[in-house]
Every structure is written in structure tokens, then in C-alpha cells.
Chain A
């Protein structure tokens, strides 16, 4: 029965080597998945920031002039809806972060589409551009800060 004395330690050695390899792969896969998730979150944040500034640009070209502009109004509301969806997707896992962000989106939305927005006979309201800028930058800042907490 000498062979038993040789085979058992060899089998144990091979088994533990296999287990170690499996464990390494598992840990590696976990970190890979985590890194990929972080990359996707960063990409979403960049897209969110881009959408916020696009809405800002549209709104600041809308308010200084009188009368309605259905094309601009549609673009502002449509993109605002998109950025809102994106924020909800990005921060879905942390309800407190999402809630704070939604409050900031609402402030930005009110600055961009409040007042006489959508009225063909509205007067120019250039002062509103300040609110648009302030709320846009606050929203971007909060989004970046919140991203770090994910």
C-alpha cells in the first residue's frame, strides 16, 4: 500500500492547486465585473453632464427672446426627460442620492420650463438665464459628488 502514501498527498496537492486557481479566477472575475460597472457609471455620468449642459444651452437661447418656439420647447422638454431617466438609472441603487438629485433636477427643470414656457405670446425673460446657469451647475456638481458615493 505504498502507492496510497504517494497518491493521497499528490491528489491533495492537485486539489488545493485547482481550488486556488478557481478562487483566483473567481476573485479576478469579481474585480473585472466591478471595474466594468464603474466604467459604465462613469460613462453615464459623462452623458448626464452632457445632457444637462445641452439643456442649459437650449434654455439660455430660449429665454432672452420673446414669443414661443415649439422646436426649442420640444428639445428642452425631451432632453430634460432623458436626463431624468439617466439619473434614475445611474442612482437607482441608492435611494437617498437619487432623491437629492431629483430635487436638483426639479429646480433645474423649473428654471428651464417654468414661467411662461410654452406660451406663444410670452415676453422675453433674460433674467431666467441666471437661474438656468445656477441650477445647471449645482446639478452637475451634485451628480459628480453623488457618483463618488456609489
Chain B
């Protein structure tokens, strides 16, 4: 199982949805890190610790975007990623991501 540490491998300052929103956007993270895992039928551990917080728009775009824009089912997405959040205050992000993924509908933009 591969490990994707968002702060180490992508950015300490995640934010924004689209590439034009800046370097830490959710779309680029999804396409560069999450999509390959699903395409390979792999399972990855996502480490949330270490970043300076997560705006909901980033989390929604990165994870729920896999359902909305890439055609995967919420079950496929949730079964492909294990979340690690040990930093104080970060555990709740796991529930937030799961909620975004579960409520996402294919091609319905801007869930959160």
C-alpha cells in the first residue's frame, strides 16, 4: 500500500479547487495523486497531518471530485483510501471527506 502525505508530497497549504486557484488546489492533487491509485485498482494511505489546515473546498474538489468528475462510485473511492489524522483537530477531516464523497453525485459541480 502506498502512502500519500499531503504536506510532504504536495503542499503544506492546500487551498482552492481549480488549477487557476493556485499551487495547492484540489483538482491538481486529485489528478496527480488520487486518480492513479484508482486507475491501478490500488489502495493508498492518505496522511492528513502536517498541513496548515484544509479548506472544505479543497477536500471536496480532491475527493468528491473523483465521484463527480471522474465517474467513480463513493464506495470505490472510500475503499481505495485509508486516512491518517493524528494531529489534534485533524480527525474530523476524515468524517468531512467521507461525507463529501458519500453525498457527491456524478457531474454535479460544487457539492460543498
Interface residues on B, range: 20 to 34
Q: Given that A106-B96, A119-B17 are known contacts, is A114 also in contact with B56, CB under 8 Å in the complex? A: yes
| Per-position 1/0 for A76-98, Cβ under 8 A of B | 11101111111111000000000
Closest-by-CB residue of A relative to B26 is A118
B17–A105 touching, CB < 8 Å: no
Known: A106-B96, A109-B96. A119 touches B21 (CB 8 A): yes
Binary contact track B52-89/A, C-beta < 8 Å → 1, others 0 = 11111110100000000000000000000000000011
Least CB separation from B15: chain A residue: A118
Give, as a whole number of angstroms, the nearest-CB distance from A62 to chain B: 11
Residue of B58, B92, B95 touching A118 (CB-CB under 8 A): B58
Interface size counted on chain A using CB atoms at 8 A:
31
Query: Are A88 and B58 in touch, CB under 8 angstroms?
Result: no
A84 and B16 within 8 A (CB):
no
**Bound state CA distance, A58 and B53, in angstroms?**
16
| List of B residues within 8 angstroms of A115 by Cβ | 57, 110, 112
**B112–A78 CB distance below 8 A:** no
| Chain B proximity of A125: nearest CB distance (Å) | 11
Tell me which residues from 91 to 140 in chain A have a Cβ below 8 Å from any Cβ of chain B: 102-103, 105-106, 109-110, 112-121
- 28 A-B pairs, CB-CB below 8 angstroms? A73-B55, A76-B55, A77-B54, A78-B52, A78-B53, A81-B52, A81-B53, A81-B89, A84-B92, A88-B91, A88-B92, A102-B92, A105-B92, A106-B95, A106-B99, A109-B96, A113-B56, A114-B56, A115-B57, A117-B56, A118-B15, A118-B22, A118-B55, A118-B58, A119-B16, A119-B20, A119-B57, A120-B20
